[in-house]
Amino acid sequence: MFTGLMLMMWIASASVAQAGDRSFSAPDTVVVRSGSLTLRGLLWRPDGPEPFPAVLYNHGSGPQSDLTRPAKLGPAFASHGYVVLYLFRRGAGLSADQGTNSEELMNRAMAENGQDGRNEVQLRLLDAELDDVRAGLTVLRARSEVDASRITVVGYSF
């Protein structure tokens, strides 16, 4: 049985194999302001006439220090003509210095207050995490190479 991420990666890799590769630029590091935080993300742009549809990739909880996933997902979408923003939310990856990642906060709550405490923290984190995603959408909508009416969010986990 496929998990959501596995299914998405299978679809992306199958599409690459069927459609052939389209050229795209190496990723740029972009800044995304979310409230008082300065988040960072990696942005891939396909070559060709603009504007392009876009994908905002929303990673799961945890530190996201392994850049293998964005290094695979960004090119998979960009090779099909999508601008891709792999946004690192607070405390994760390139935004590790911007707060504590949600997995660490939930693990602390679990250790201190059990599953109910962890669940409570997870629900509280949703607003902050959604603020980060909304900020990423704002950045994509403002970019000239993006068709603001054709943006999707892809991700997994909570």
- Coil vs helix vs strand at 85: strand
Instruction: Say what the pLDDT of residue 11 is.
Output: 40
Q: Are 85 and 52 in contact (CB under 8 A)?
A: no
Could you say which residues of the chain have pLDDT below 50?
Answer: 1-20
The pair of three-digit structure tokens given for residue 110, joined into one six-digit string: 């679990």
Reduced DSSP (H G I as helix, E B as strand, rest coil) percent helix, strand, coil of the chain, to 5: 45, 25, 30
Residues paired with residue 43 on neighbouring β-strands, in sequence order: 28, 85
Other Cβ atoms less than 10 A from the Cβ of 103: the count is 18
* Percent with pLDDT over 70 in the chain: 87
Distance in angstroms (rounded) separating the CA atoms of residues 131 and 35: 8
Q: What is the pLDDT of residues 34-61, one digit of tens each?
A: 999 999 999 999 999 999 999 999 988 8
